[in-house]
Structure 1
Amino acid sequence: MSRLHFDFGCGSLKLAGSLDTAPGSTGLLIVSGGNELRSGAFSGQSLLAARIAKAGFPVFRFDRRGIGDSEGENRGFRHSAKDIRAALDAFRALAPQVDRVIGFGNCDAASALMLMGGEGFDGLVLSNPWTIDDDAGDTDEPQHTPEAIRSRYLEKLKNPAEIARLLRGGVNLRKLAAGLLGAAKSAPQTSQLSQEMRAGIADFSGSVTYLVATDDRTGQLFESAWGKDDPRIQRCLGAGHAYVEPSHQDWLKDRILEVIRA
């Protein structure tokens, strides 16, 4: 196993890519979310690629246009299908033994794969898909779902220390009132983006696995928009958005390997 760094073409532009080599005929293509480099948050994608390759399967990562070492303008995840297609072509050229490719993306990378209908992939692993419309709010952080707020307050009410803190006046009443109002709201309406994602993935013939980190607001909002009863959803209890804890990293690796080996 070795790691190769190179440039590949996307139209007239050059994109930066990395390939962790392995002999397997099924490969993993990792699409970065947000404006992250191909190494991922806290080098999480780089570590994940090495572990998947060690298990015998090649892994391709890349920086989309305008990110990291890649040329061009960063136009966001909604306009990244061309980059993903170019990465797929480069992956197949550099690892000619690969006859089956699984796509993995976290956050809006998962959304990008869904919007392009999984074109060119044989299976998808979609983690914490981003479902918030671009004009949904003034903050980059998604808001808690009413269900998550209710769960949080129920846990506090079970804690005698929290009750004592409230009686001592140690609770910000304005924040408490805002939280209670949030908990009383009904489930958020389905976003336009989530509708487009659902339509995009509807005709995909390969396998689809959704992963949700239960402590991640993006994952919580995805479940609210998508429906928790989808049998393809698997949940990593207590995990945050980037799966930074070692046990959560193991869980993520194992779920991806299950799909690759299927």
Structure 2
Amino acid sequence: MSYSESALYLNCDGDRLVGVLAAPEVSARIGVLVIVGGPQYRVGSHRQFVLLSRRLAEAGYAVLRFDYRGMGDSEGTQRDFEHVSDDIATAIDTLQQQVPAVTEVVLWGLCDGASAALLYCEQTSDPRVRGLCLLNPWVRSETSLARTQVKHYYLQRLRQKEFWLKVLSGKVALKALTGLLQSLSLMLRPPEAEPRQASFQERMARAWQRFDGSILLLLSGNDYTAKEFIDHVQTSATWSAAMAHPGLSKRDMPGVDHTCSGADARQLVEEHTLAWLSTLGSTRS
């Protein structure tokens, strides 16, 4: 299907945001909002979000990708993923204004963009959000990072003959061994007895559990952020319950890196997203 691309200005609390809309000739009722993660802007690493948006638009889905306040070409003070709910709400408003056929929206996010999508739902319970597509969600804390480093890096190194040969020859720096001890200490540290407020990870899990739409979880096999998410889920009762969500579809992508940088990996993400989007029309209650 043919589509057009146009640059847009979005007004968020007096700041002008920049977005790009890919709109098919005839749009599905479900539109897609791409939420950028990390210190990125609307193009994404290796034009990831440009190519994704165009592929989805070819399939009939209107897609808006945009820059938060203070990022890319947008005005305003820079903020992190925990404080962009107003930006997301503005982008959803704009998508619907520009493409009136769009009555429901999917939030598609990578890394802390996925986290921002969940936090938006936790904060707003926006009924327009029909689905969440979450690629390698960000749940990092000192403890989760330490656990991931020990399990997926240090334990593998300890099994390697080359590592011990370097230890015996004095070629392993003291800094590396110190890092292992520090990670073990953080991993084994007991949690605080009475946290003053819910962490962003707890708020993400709460939003996940309460969400009444569909969730597509994409996990890269060659990515520490994805491994950290898996380990966090396995050690958290709250997250373990969240993973039993009736609307969850999970897709593992072996060998794929964090931003799905290869052409094959990018196409795999696009295919998973399109296949999942095609099911949403028949699962609305």
TM-score, normalised via structure 2 length: 0.77
Q: Please name the residue that 1:247 is paired with.
A: 264
1:128 Cα deviation from its structure 2 partner: 1.3
Q: Which runs of 4+ in 1 moved over 6 A?
A: 182-185, 187-191
Tell whether 2:118 aligns with 1:114: yes
| Stretches of structure 2 lacking an aligned partner (at least 5 in a row) | 192-197, 280-285
More helix as a share of residues = 2
| Stretches of structure 1 lacking an aligned partner (at least 5 in a row) | none
In structure 2, distance between residues paired with 1:202 and 1:182: 33
Task: Supply the RMSD in Å over aligned alpha carbons.
Answer: 2.9
Tell whether 2:21 aligns with 1:24: no
Change (3 A) 1:163 1:204: closer
Q: Please name the residue that 1:35 is paired with.
A: 39
In structure 2, distance between residues paired with 1:73 and 1:64: 9
Counterpart contact for 1:10–1:86, Cα < 8 Å = yes
Counterpart contact for 1:38–1:62, Cα < 8 Å = yes
TM-score, normalised via structure 1 length: 0.83
Q: Please name the residue that 2:72 is paired with.
A: 68
* Among candidates 269, 275, 278, match of residue 258 of structure 1: 275
Change (3 A) 1:214 1:183: farther
In structure 2, distance between residues paired with 1:69 and 1:170: 50
Q: Which amino acid aligns with 2:110?
A: N
Q: Please name the residue that 1:195 is paired with.
A: 202
In structure 2, distance between residues paired with 1:238 and 1:187: 30
1:170 Cα deviation from its structure 2 partner: 8.2
Structure 1 residues 189-198 or 206-215, which shifts more?
189-198
In structure 2, distance between residues paired with 1:238 and 1:179: 26
1:32 Cα deviation from its structure 2 partner: 0.6
- How many residues are paired up? 252
Tell whether 2:140 aligns with 1:132: yes
What percent of counterpart residues are identical? 27
Matches within 5 A, 1:142-181: 144-149=148-153, 152-153=156-157, 156=160, 162=162, 166=166, 169=169, 171-172=171-172, 174=174, 177-178=177-178, 181=181
Tell whether 2:23 aligns with 1:12: no
1:9 Cα deviation from its structure 2 partner: 1.6
Change (3 A) 1:67 1:187: same
**3-state SS, counterpart of residue 227 of structure 1:** helix
Q: Please name the residue that 1:84 is paired with.
A: 88
**3-state SS, counterpart of residue 251 of structure 2:** strand
Counterpart contact for 2:69–2:77, Cα < 8 Å = yes
Change (3 A) 1:40 1:155: farther
In structure 2, distance between residues paired with 1:170 and 1:21: 60
Q: Which amino acid aligns with 1:104?
A: W
